[in-house]
Every structure is written in structure tokens, then in C-alpha cells.
């Protein structure tokens, strides 16, 4: 795994998923125990927060956790979020983004860790959105492995109890579970979750 994964494929995949979300699905449940509209608001906020983290440019003062409130989803979200996702991918293509310290979600962390958190957010919330809206989902093996390398030790340090504000307690999966199912389970989601 390279220390600087390219977020472009993950952001493009996320934008494609957003295009497939219908208005009536915004109140639908997701595997993340939030409505789909709430997850979309979270993606809208994290796209901006992690772009600022990459640039180390905090326009509104210290970094705050992204919003997770469907009522705050902007009316133009179908255009705005893909634009923010493009900016996010572009910001993390700069080698400087991965150097030094930065802030994201109200936390101070290394640029390298922030980039991996951004990728993990894109991959895992992409899965949430795909499951909730009934769309196919196929992240690359490289993305999944980069996320596992970051998530697995974090979960292990928590004793499998999860990390508040990041993900819930790990879910058990069979030994032969796919890498994506293992990643999803480590973040506190049931890989077999389907929309009701």
C-alpha cells in the first residue's frame, strides 16, 4: 500500500451514488443508524472539512465535526456535494497534504492519518449510501486494503468497542468474509444489512 492513496476513484464513485439517490429515499434508514439524508449531509460536511484539512486552511476558525442533520442538507446538494468531492480529491493529490499536522472533525492529527480517514469515510459511507438506496457498490481492492490497514489497528486498540464519533463496536464476521465485509464489520455495521 502506498502512503498516499489517490481519493479520485472514491470521490467519483460517491458522486455516482448521489446521482442515483431519489428524493423519496432521503428518509430511508441506512446501516449507519441514520437516515440517508443525514448521511448525505455528513458527506457534504466532511468533503469540505477534509479539503480544508488537506490544504491546512481553516476558513471558519478551528476545525469542527461535520454536520449530520438531514434538515441541513442544502437544496442544491446534488450539484454541491459532487463539486466538493472533486475539490477533496484534488486537495489530497498534493504531497503537502500528507505532511505535517492538520485538523479534521475537531481533532488534531497527522496529514497522513487525515488522508486515510478521508478515504475510509468515502468508502464506508459510500457503502452505506449504496445499501440504503439499492445501488451496486464496488470499491477497488487497493482502497479496501488501505482502509483496513488504517481501521483494523484502531479497532484493535479500542478492544473492538468502537471509537465514539468514528464508528460503533465491531461486528463478528466469518473467517472467510470478503475484505469489504471485514472492513464494514470493523466499523460497526452488519455486512448483510439490506434496506427494509
37 within 8 A of 26, measured Cβ to Cβ: yes
Q: What is the pLDDT of residues 157-169, one digit of tens each?
A: 776 676 665 677 8
Q: What is the pTM of this model?
A: 0.91
53 within 8 A of 63, measured Cβ to Cβ: yes
Give the cell for residue 116. Answer: 486515510
**pLDDT-based confidence at residue 66 (cuts at 50, 70, 90):** low
Total count of residues recorded for the chain:
196
| Residue 47 CB partners (closer than 8 Å, separation 6+) | 81, 84, 85, 87, 88
Instruction: Flag whether pLDDT at 131 surpasses 70.
Output: yes
What is the CATH superfamily name and number for domain 8-186? dinb family like domain (1.20.120.450)
Instruction: Flag whether pLDDT at 60 surpasses 70.
Output: no
Q: Is 176 exposed, middle or buried (0-12, 13-18, 19+ CB in 10 A)?
A: exposed
Give the cell for residue 109. Answer: 492529527
- Residues 67, 60: Cα–Cα separation, whole Å: 14
**pLDDT-based confidence at residue 54 (cuts at 50, 70, 90):** very high
Domain spans, the chain: 8-186
- Residues 51, 106: Cα–Cα separation, whole Å: 14
Amino acid at each position: 500500500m502506498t502512503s498516499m492513496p489517490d481519493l479520485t476513484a472514491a470521490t467519483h464513485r460517491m458522486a455516482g451514488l448521489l446521482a442515483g439517490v431519489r428524493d423519496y429515499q432521503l428518509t430511508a434508514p441506512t446501516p449507519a443508524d441514520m437516515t440517508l439524508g443525514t448521511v448525505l449531509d455528513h458527506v457534504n460536511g466532511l468533503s469540505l472539512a477534509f479539503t480544508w484539512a488537506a490544504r491546512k486552511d481553516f476558513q471558519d476558525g478551528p476545525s469542527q465535526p461535520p454536520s449530520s442533520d438531514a434538515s441541513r442538507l442544502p437544496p442544491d446538494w446534488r450539484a454541491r456535494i459532487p463539486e466538493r468531492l472533486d475539490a477533496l480529491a484534488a486537495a489530497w493529490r498534493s504531497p503537502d497534504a500528507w505532511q505535517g499536522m492538520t485538523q479534521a472533525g475537531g481533532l488534531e492529527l497527522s496529514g497522513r492519518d487525515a488522508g486515510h480517514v478521508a478515504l475510509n469515510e468515502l468508502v464506508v459511507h459510500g457503502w452505506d449510501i449504496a445499501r440504503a438506496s439499492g445501488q451496486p457498490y464496488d470499491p477497488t481492492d487497493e482502497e479496501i486494503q488501505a482502509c483496513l490497514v488504517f481501521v483494523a489497528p484502531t479497532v484493535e486498540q479500542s478492544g473492538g468497542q468502537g471509537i465514539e464519533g468514528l464508528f460503533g463496536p465491531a461486528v463478528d464476521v466469518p473467517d472467510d468474509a470478503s475484505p469489504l465485509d471485514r472492513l464494514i464489520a470493523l466499523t460497526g455495521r452488519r455486512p448483510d444489512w439490506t434496506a427494509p
